[in-house]
Structure 1
């Protein structure tokens, strides 16, 4: 793995890790709100080992990527960043997005349907459970004054994710934090949590079901929706509504996994993604290549 990619977008620079041979078909991994590119580390390695050139990117306002200079975040900005990533690659990738990252991918494809080879949405759709998204926002907005030490951080994470064991090696938490004046703060821009009404020029909220629903209806690329079986964000009914809009899409429910599916059951998640890519994308690329041969 290397992590020296700095990818220019319209008004920020995006940080990325990458694995594999750049000549292989590209896959772009986009995390959810409050996460970083590091959440895809295992998946990135697995895909690269299977012959995919894989980029895991920090969304704007997260990790080592730039923060919006005017403090404005929304689907137009995120979708523009997805387009910038495809321009950087110089060819359509497979887009894999979790939660906020999935919305960014879907919004980008709504504007440019041929932007990607395929789409994987992880526990996200135009339809969702507000109680689940409210819980995420509450966590992200908590502790604006930061933490005194890594033990406090670990306690906060354990309370937010009670189904996971409390981390034993607290040093691993540092990649999700920034340190200032002896205190630890979450790695995301606090402006992400401001209500849209506080942004003088904000016109598009982070989630726009009508816009995302229209984008879903227009999808023509191979599509996979992955739901965490214990998710409080995407219900079975929400998934069914998405599949009615996108009848060609495949659907997988990962039993026992919560909203952050890959982190809850990475082995099962990687098998699902790998199978979809080989079955729906690799075969499509092979047929396209055969068709172009003289």
Structure 2
């Protein structure tokens, strides 16, 4: 594919093991090695669009999806979400690829990736792992700030400008406001005419309670990982810190750590070019990267 050619995005639906439909898309050559992107809590596959486009041009097949309860994917009846459901979804998606993919997981997607990659009772699901601003132990204050923002507007927004103001206050380091075009992918209009986030509010209980309950298991899983691993952290993140990075590197000393200047927890959104360059450099070291170009 020409470096200037825009890869075509193909929309698909993947059925989770329990039947929940997961919206997904892929771009890049169908016979190229696969990068499987798992987004963070409250995001959608759109979070990876810029990176996926760039890496597809570099010779990778990029597959991204909306986690259950997010975006265009199905919701769980009664809001009965559990961490194991997300783990099963990711393992099934990886298993549906021609060969074990490289997983790129941000925040929640990275934690689920750790759980899958560190499960020694099953065959390896991934060929490599890239974690985007997440470690198995996280800074509670940073997570509390995220949850506070997500709970701040239970009645939604009157219009897109109202939502853009809320995002600007939450992410003051970013220049400009989110456009209505972008916000249309993040908000759903209810029967009352108000705009609400695309994710199921019941998911907040999973993040707040199950994440902490599984933290010890995630620490143990990290030590069991035997595939090439990259940790990308935002220099200005309040979720990942020197303390949590140091602990991660003690648990997995063979991992590579890259700190991205000027980026917060929303690393790919803050510094997509730097993110793609760092990820591309890591991908270029992998054996199966011989069939794809180093970025």
Matches of 2:201 and 2:281, distance apart in 1: 38
Give 1:82's match in structure 2, choosing from 87, 90, 98.
Answer: 90
Which residue number corresponds to residue 228 of structure 1?
A: 234
| 8 Å Cα contact 2:95/2:125 also seen in 1 | no
| 8 Å Cα contact 2:164/2:178 also seen in 1 | no
Task: Summarize the Cα distance change of 1:10–1:232 in structure 2 as closer, same or farther, 3 Å threshold.
Answer: same
Which residue number corresponds to residue 289 of structure 1?
A: none
Equivalent positions of 1:1-294 (< 5 A) are 1-11=8-18, 12-111=20-119, 112=122, 114-167=124-177, 169-181=179-191, 182-194=193-205, 205-207=210-212, 208-282=214-288
Task: Summarize the Cα distance change of 1:196–1:224 in structure 2 as closer, same or farther, 3 Å threshold.
Answer: closer
Q: Deviations over 1:246-265 (max 9, x none)?
A: 01100000011000101101
| 8 Å Cα contact 1:75/1:107 also seen in 2 | no
Q: Deviations over 1:175-223 (max 9, x none)?
A: 00111132100000010123789xxxxxx81342211111100000000
Matches of 1:75 and 1:113, distance apart in 2: 20
| 8 Å Cα contact 2:167/2:178 also seen in 1 | no
Matches of 1:195 and 1:221, distance apart in 2: 28
| Structure 2 unaligned blocks of 5 or more | 1-7
Q: Deviations over 1:29-53 (max 9, x none)?
A: 1111111110100100111111111
Matches of 2:75 and 2:291, distance apart in 1: 36
SS in structure 2 at match of 1:232: coil
- Could you tell me how far 1:138 is from its partner in structure 2? 1.2
| 8 Å Cα contact 1:74/1:206 also seen in 2 | no
- Could you tell me how far 1:243 is from its partner in structure 2? 0.6
SS in structure 2 at match of 1:158: helix
Matches of 1:283 and 1:178, distance apart in 2: 39
SS in structure 1 at match of 2:135: coil
SS in structure 2 at match of 1:225: strand
Aligned length: 280
- Could you tell me how far 1:75 is from its partner in structure 2? 2.2
Task: Summarize the Cα distance change of 1:73–1:206 in structure 2 as closer, same or farther, 3 Å threshold.
Answer: farther
- Could you tell me how far 1:156 is from its partner in structure 2? 0.7
- Could you tell me how far 1:136 is from its partner in structure 2? 0.8
Tell me the TM-score normalised to structure 2 length.
0.90
| Structure 1 unaligned blocks of 5 or more | 198-203, 287-294
SS in structure 1 at match of 2:71: coil
Please list every run of at least 4 consecutive aligned residues from structure 1 whose deviation after the TM superposition is greater than 6 angstroms: none
- Could you tell me how far 1:126 is from its partner in structure 2? 0.8
Tell me the TM-score normalised to structure 1 length.
0.90
SS in structure 2 at match of 1:275: helix
